[in-house]
A and B are shown apart, each in its own frame.
Chain A
């Protein structure tokens, strides 16, 4: 059966001559090395550095959001306020240009109709010199 190196006790190697302090030191070093290896592996797997290099502000914002959710802030009045503000701004940005286009089309249509009526009625748009 394979034993973890970190879990070894001095009793399992009584003849190696190491004191308890040395054994603790070695174990701590090994544990630290393994943790560093795991962290670097995780970094490599998630390509965190690449992402941060590509989008530094976005990565920090994402980390802030993750922390906010972990801190339990998702179902709070602050979140609802932020969401409402974002929705309002988004709706304004999306709807206002559309409304503007529609109104300009409507105004063009009304203007064309008015000119047509004026021509048919024979009253409208007399040149100022004729008055």
Chain B
């Protein structure tokens, strides 16, 4: 019983320590996602042509390899 309590308290401690970092990472990822989608929506032609060009290059490289 004592060991179980110890494990529980350790898990709680670790959770409390990690939670702010997780929240921060979540916030950063959300803002990154919104900025990327915003950029794509603002410049659709540029993004699509760039993606086609990148895919073309990857296809060429894959063909040679």
Contact = CB atoms under 8 A, between A and B. Distances in A.
Interface residues of A, number: 26
Nearest to B36: A56
The main secondary structure of chain B at its interface with chain A is helix
Interface string B40-63: 110011011101111111111111
The main secondary structure of chain A at its interface with chain B is helix
Nearest to B47: A60
A74 B40 CA distance: 26
Interface of B: 36-37, 40-41, 44-45, 47-49, 51-63, 65
Given A59-B48, A68-B62, 9 more contacts: A57-B40, A60-B47, A67-B51, A67-B52, A67-B57, A68-B56, A73-B63, A76-B59, A76-B63
